[in-house]
Amino acid sequence: MPLTLYGLKNCDTCKKALKALGDQDVHFVDIRAEADLEEKVPAWLKAAGAESLVNKRSTTWRQLSDAEKAAGESGDAADLLIAHPTLIKRPVIEADKAVHVGWTPAISKALLGE
């Protein structure tokens, strides 16, 4: 099955996921330069939720105002994530109609069948 991995080229977690998925059909999309976030972010939020998609451990998150953080913690995080793509927890992997956020043992098992 073809996979689309959205991330950053210098992200260690994205590199780890790409390496693990190595012999599969994976298309990498840089979330800052190539992704159509206006289309993707609402769909990802619907599939995964703001709690999964917003990276609250990032430097960008710590630099936000309290009002922006409140928006990021609510179901209204789309505008914030589109404005600040580095707030998106990485990688976001689309496989068929499923959306996986992050690279955990459970996601690895689901995608690699291990």
**Active site amino acids:** 11
98-101 and 26-30 strand pairing: unpaired
Token pair of 78, please? 């789309």
Q: Tell me, what amino acid is at 102? A: G
CA distance linking residue 75 with residue 50, whole number of Å? 6
CA distance linking residue 61 with residue 17, whole number of Å? 23
Exposed, middle or buried: residue 108 (CB in 10 Å: 0-12, 13-18, 19+)? middle
